[in-house]
Structure 1
């Protein structure tokens, strides 16, 4: 379902279900929210995507730190121009 969902990160989830997913994750970080007693409807992919977006926004440091950004930029310089592709 999720891989075929258009706009998974553009459309907003439902606030109450986002809170539910977040509580499940806070209670057990390794819980699979789509199985057993935690079962969410696979159609609720926007809720899960919104939860992920919230988590990433609230990190104390970005995933792509300044140091990592500089490293990737330096690597990119060494890639021949005809092989560079930003999609």
Structure 2
């Protein structure tokens, strides 16, 4: 760990609602270099479709594995397909 860096608590995965869990898996399918574990489902926003806010524990993979807490916004379109629209590191 770097001096001044945060040591992220040992946080377990949360149980997302079934549809959100499937959408989360779909949206992150094929992502390499980082692992996202959902720890809190915050809620949703009705737009042209639905946005879902999820807090995740993020582990960046590689020689210097670093951990962060990130806010992930998933967009669910009107056909039920999910994609990531925003990832913001908050800690």
Q: TM-score, normalised by structure 1?
A: 0.24
Structure with a larger share of its residues in strand: 2
> Hey, which of these two has a bigger chunk of helix by percent?
1
The structure with higher relative contact order (CA 8 Å, sep 6+) is: 1
Larger radius of gyration: 1
TM-score w.r.t. length of structure 2: 0.23
